[in-house]
Amino acid sequence: MDIKKILGLVLTLLGIGGLIYTAILYVNDSGEFKILAVYGILGAIFFFSGMGLIKRIGSSKE
C-alpha cells in the first residue's frame, strides 16, 4: 500500500473522529462555542484533506 493512501486514510479517520467528538460535545451541551469551533474546523480540514488526497491518488494511475 502506498504511503499517500495511508496518510489519506489516517487524515480522513482523524477528521471523522473530530467531527463526531464535536457533535457529542454539542449534543451534551458541555462545550463552549470556541472549543466547538476549533474541533469542528480541525475535523473538517482533516476530513476534506484526507478525502482529497485519496481522490487524487485514486484518479492518477501510474
CB neighbour list of residue 59: distance below 8 Å, 6 or more residues apart = none
Q: Rounded to two decimals, what is the model's pTM?
A: 0.84
Taking residues 34-62, what's their average pLDDT?
89
Burial (CB < 10 A; 0-12, 13-18, 19+), residue 15, is buried
pLDDT band at 21 (very low <50, low <70, confident <90, very high): very high
45 has a pLDDT exceeding 60: yes
What's residue 58's pLDDT? 76
Whole-number average pLDDT of the chain: 90
DSSP of 1-62, one letter per residue? --HHHHHHHHHHHHHHHHHHHHHHHHHHT-S-HHHHHHHHHHHHHHHHHHHHHHHHHHH---
- The residue ranges of every structural domain in the chain are 3-59
